[in-house]
A = this chain, B = another copy of it.
């Protein structure tokens, strides 16, 4: 089973190892679609881990050639004034905004070149007997039944994975799904006269404490805009006028860019969508089944690491499979090594939402960012700031958190020493003045 990116990438990796791969997908072949719906997903932000996994199948450069680099965050304040916080002032590393359609087409085209990959679209999974390696499909649109047999079933079928629904019923399978009280809604800043209406090489953020809006550039020179807010706040906006007032107050600079009419149309077209964080463990069942990507670890989209984590699953899995151990041992090893990092990035993604909507505005946050950057410049291998270790390195996610905790302790101590030394100097100074006055 596969759903777009991680599924096709998994197929490519397995095919390169010489396995026969059958890919089953519920939807139709996206390459045949006239109109590809923007869907309900924030654009994909590709960073180091995804790049590494793409490089392993020889596709990194091809993907990057269609992507738009984002060098930092461009913050928009209430008056529409902007300021820039670069992601990596030291080494100029970037995130890349990639179109979901482009990357998936590219991966599917790559799959087509392997004689040992067969793609089956419009196959809906309706049942599975994991123990027997059996999958039961219905072929759309006529619903003919089809039963297939596999040595290993790999589910890359997204946050609401059907295969995971089978695993959830097996004893010992730990699982949690946590919805946050924040809804999101997609808007669009279209291209104007064939050009971007805002500087394209940034991730634009309108941080507003309890809510925020972000915008990522698209290849067609539009921006996909995502408004994230508590559901109660969405519910308060009932009329066109309330919506315009809300935008005049909070996102005044975007009104002429989105256009009032389009804003009203898009805002009231759909209800705000839920966001869920999913953790589970193990990811495998004996040597019979495995889940990867969002099926194994769905996260809120605020670190832009969802796709990168899914792709990195394959980097780890392949390195383990290369050791040629028995399959059940390999899969158990994959679970054991992967879950602490997958859980860590789910937590980090939740934290980054707070950072984006609230902290980025604060002086203390900017001071720390400045200090981190300075230390990073001085000690490029020793002092890697959290954001950089997550987005621009392959440091295990759980290690990124430990690393940050270590940095917090060091800075805490340094602050104490500074205060203590300052206080001592002050006392000594006072004493000196008193003695010699």
Contacts and interface: CB of A to CB of B under 8 A. Distances in A.
Interface of A: 160, 168-169, 171-179, 273-274, 276
16 contacts: A160-B169, A168-B177, A171-B273, A171-B274, A171-B276, A172-B179, A172-B274, A173-B179, A174-B177, A174-B178, A174-B179, A175-B175, A175-B177, A176-B176, A176-B177, A176-B178
Q: Could you say how many copies of this chain the assembly holds?
A: 2
Contacts of A173: 177, 179
A274 B171 CA distance: 6
B175 A171 contact: no
Q: Name the 10 nearest CB pairs between A and B, nearest first.
A: A176-B176, A171-B274, A172-B179, A175-B177, A174-B178, A174-B179, A172-B274, A174-B177, A175-B176, A171-B179
A7 to B, nearest CB: 22
Nearest to A231: B172
Contacts of A276: 171
A176 B280 CA distance: 9
Contacts of A169: 160
Contacts of A273: 171
A173 B273 CA distance: 13
Contacts of A179: 171-174
A172 B277 CA distance: 11
Contacts of A174: 177-179
A178 B178 CA distance: 14
Contacts of A274: 171-172
